[in-house]
Amino acid sequence: MNKVNLKHIASWIHRNARELEIAIWRYHFENGNKEDVVNALMYYQNEDGGFGNTVDPDNWNVNSLPMATLFTINILKDIEFYDMQHPIYLGIKKYIDTKLNFPEGCDFTVATNIDYPHASYYNHDENYNRTESTGVILGFCSFIIEHYDDSKIYSETLELVRKMMDHLYTDNLGDMGPTGYISLINAMRHKQVQGYDYEKLDLRLKELVNNSIQRNPEQWPYYGYRPSDYIKSEDSIFYEDNKDIVNVELDFLQDTLPENDVWPITWSWFENNEKYPKESTISGNWWKSIKAIERAKFLKNFGRTY
């Protein structure tokens, strides 16, 4: 069995990535420490505790944004940094409590995006928000359930979750909906939130994931969800139903890693490419680093690296 040489990816990361992604790479692959990741993240944090400033490379809005703040929360979760008294988390809680207006303010796109370079899917659109903001709301619900004590916002979140669970069985969950529900239900199970049939919820999650995965490898160079978007290791509840297609993706990643480069990303800024040619190119390179780390972790977790 061929395996991917991590030094190949590491060389590209160190030559091309931002300080943030280099710190994440070092944490996962070079015995780096999570504090370096946190310190790099804090340069993107605003005075109100929220995040903007291109922490999400597809949106150069400097203001604090729900999606950029959730993007940061997910990085902190990925490196398993849970010191809730650290300034980065105190700031995030300040933003949620005083600025975000949760959940009404959890819009996927915001009006001020028009003033800054951004991918086309961040063009402000209220109709688009009605669907795509679901994943943002679910992400913040997960964070609040995991990290807030018995407080007013915690109680309000539990009530909101009851309503969101009805929505779980509809067809229009948006792009981020399935991953949002996975995160939420994992948080609820971890905190032992009572009143839910978790076996039944897991069956629904498996249905969503199985239906979402693009199973034709010829389509993987284009936008869509691959097994690795949901299945990070053999411990995943989604692995057993999808082990064959997981192996196909592992082979695909090994076979398509370019020489002296990493895998290309599968999207662009589309109609905004011409409007922001420099920024869209820079963003694409930053995203290549992010996705290279994700794919290297996936390969490593399944024993496909050396």
d(CA 63, CA 253): 36
Q: What residue type is 101 in one-letter code?
A: N
CA 202 to chain centre: 20
Residue in the block written with tokens 């390969």? 299
pLDDT tens per residue, range 92-110 = 999 999 999 999 999 999 9
Q: Six-digit token pair at 106? A: 């959890």
Widest Cα–Cα separation across the chain: 55
pLDDT tens per residue, range 124-164 = 999 999 999 999 999 999 999 999 987 899 999 999 999 99
- Give the global pTM: 0.97
For residue 120, give the DSSP letter: G
pLDDT of residue 265: 97
Share of the chain above pLDDT 70, in %: 100
d(CA 255, CA 128): 37
pLDDT of residue 1: 55
Measured at the CA of 285, the angle between CA 279 and CA 286, to 5 degrees, comes to 85
d(CA 143, CA 288): 27
Helix axes 87-95 and 126-147, enclosed angle (nearest 10): 130
pLDDT of residue 93: 97
**Where does residue 77 rank: exposed (0-12), middle (13-18), buried (19+ CB within 10 A)?**
middle
pLDDT of residue 119: 98
What average pLDDT does this structure show over 177-184? 97
Q: Six-digit token pair at 9? A: 């990816």
d(CA 246, CA 234): 10
Q: Six-digit token pair at 199? A: 């076996």
pLDDT of residue 129: 96
d(CA 194, CA 15): 49
Candidates 22, 17, 23; CA nearest to 57 is: 17
d(CA 287, CA 289): 5
At 62, is the pLDDT very low, low, confident or very high (cuts 50, 70, 90)? Answer: very high
CA 172 to chain centre: 20
pLDDT of residue 209: 98
At 46, is the pLDDT very low, low, confident or very high (cuts 50, 70, 90)? Answer: very high
Whether 67 shows a pLDDT value over 70: the answer reads yes
Q: Six-digit token pair at 273? A: 């490419």
d(CA 128, CA 69): 19
pLDDT tens per residue, range 249-293 = 999 999 999 999 999 999 999 999 999 999 999 999 999 999 999
Q: Where are the alpha helices (DSSP H) in the chain?
A: 6-16, 19-29, 34-42, 66-78, 87-95, 126-147, 152-167, 177-190, 198-212, 239-256, 272-275, 277-301
Query: What's the chain's average pLDDT?
Result: 97
For residue 45, list its beta bridge partners: 51
What average pLDDT does this structure show over 36-65? 98
**Where does residue 137 rank: exposed (0-12), middle (13-18), buried (19+ CB within 10 A)?**
buried
pLDDT of residue 171: 86
d(CA 266, CA 156): 38
Q: Six-digit token pair at 170? A: 């509809």
Q: Are 16 and 281 in contact (CB under 8 A)?
A: no
